[in-house]
Amino acid sequence: MHKKKIIISIAVFLSFLLISTAYAGQKSGKSFIWSFESGNNTIYLLGSIHVLNKESYPLPEEVEHMYNCCRKIVFETDLDSMNDGTVQEKMLKRGMYPTGQTLSGSISAETYEMLKRKLEASGLSILSFDRFRPWMVALTIAGSEMIRLGFDPELGVDRRFFSKAKQDNKELIFLETNEFQINLFAGLGRTRQEALLKQILVEIRIIETMFADMVNAWKSGSAEKLDSIMNESFREFPDLHERLITRRNRRWVAKILNLARQKGDLLVVVGAAHLVGEKSVIEILRTKGYKVIQR
């Protein structure tokens, strides 16, 4: 398989897995923006969509205003380093089986057949993927699907503000390392990797039919609706939700509160999926006594 095909940004994959949708511009009501006062500063939390299309812009004026007010911008990880050749090579190496092991010999016949049907429908041979581990196959399929639907990681909310913050010489802060994000998937055991692949294969079949609901939830700022869609997405995969969402939320809150002790307003840009639900960053902050308001 051509190397360029298999190396897809993890941001694209997370966007697909964690409910990606278009930001069509907020005209009224609430949006995916929250804030709270720490005593030293104001912390803004922006729910990011990692992949968007050109029609998704411009963003609401309030988002731009928040950015202008903050000298420190927090992101999930260093987006430039994630696209560095060395990091990509490391991801590719960890995503491949050693000599003697294959995908066909590592997943169930049911999952293998599901994957085969999906690939053949896209004009691809499953044999091209036989050296790759399930998590890497899932990442590639998800990324390719988002691109096919017209989305571009270079147009994502986090990428836009990442590039803008660098240009404006703002302080960039990262919640996770590139290695940590790669290990979210590469560190999965055999059973969980297959579960991840199955989840993606199921999601792909319904993503276009779910699209209208996702767009409406995002445009209206309906955290409840987006949470409902997420719950359905992860219903059969609670372990993955715990690993990819809940545990990271807890770690992020500790880091955000540490930053809140410093002077200067702060803008935190993380995937929108991390800001909805009872175990979200927002709810964890509220349980710690902070008054977090959706704007």
- In this structure, the chain runs to a length of 295
State which residues of the chain have pLDDT below 50: 1-9, 12, 15, 18-28
What pLDDT does residue 209 have?
Answer: 59
Distance CA 73, CA 160 (A): 12
Place of tokens 């992860």: 234
Distance CA 182, CA 133 (A): 13
What pLDDT does residue 7 have?
Answer: 42
Verify cis geometry, omega within 30 degrees of 0, for the bond prior to 134: no
Alpha carbon 165 to chain centroid distance? Answer: 20
What pLDDT does residue 116 have?
Answer: 96
What pLDDT does residue 180 have?
Answer: 93
What pLDDT does residue 271 have?
Answer: 86
Distance CA 104, CA 112 (A): 7
Distance CA 28, CA 226 (A): 18
Phi, psi at residue 95, to the nearest 5°? Answer: -90, 0
What pLDDT does residue 25 have?
Answer: 40
What pLDDT does residue 18 have?
Answer: 46
Residue 200 has which token pair? 């993606």
Distance CA 46, CA 256 (A): 13
pTM: 0.86
Residue 97 has which token pair? 């089986």
Map 222-257 to HEC letters. Answer: CHHHHHHHHHHHHCCCHHHHHHHHHHHHHHHHHHHH
